[in-house]
Amino acid sequence: MSYQSRRRFWVEVGLSALSGFLLTLTLVLPDWIEAVFGVDPDQHSGSLEWVIAAAFGVMAVAALALARREWERRTVSFSTTR
């Protein structure tokens, strides 16, 4: 596994973990977004939080799928070199 491939794998794992954490945070404390940015574009309806939570969920799954693909590529290349 090359350095570039290893780095890509860990970046994808990190992005998946971060997205998963933000998804969980948004589901548990949906008002954190308004507290951090100081704006309330949906006037406390919660619709923006659901959209953001869904986006974090999609990003977490996509980054995890990319990391898995990178891991499998490493496993295949390692087994063919032996």
Is 60 exceeded by the pLDDT of residue 72?
A: yes
pLDDT at 22: 94
- Amino acid in the structure at residue 18: L
- Joined together, the tokens standing for residue 59 give 């990003």
Nearest to 70 by CA among 15, 29, 19, 11: 11
Distance CA 38, CA 19 (A): 21
Question: What is the pLDDT confidence band of residue 80, given thresholds at 50, 70 and 90?
Answer: low
Phi, psi (degrees; rounded to nearest 5) at 54: -65, -40
Q: What is the CA radius of gyration of the chain?
A: 17
Distance CA 33, CA 50 (A): 12
Q: Whole-model pTM above 0.85? A: no
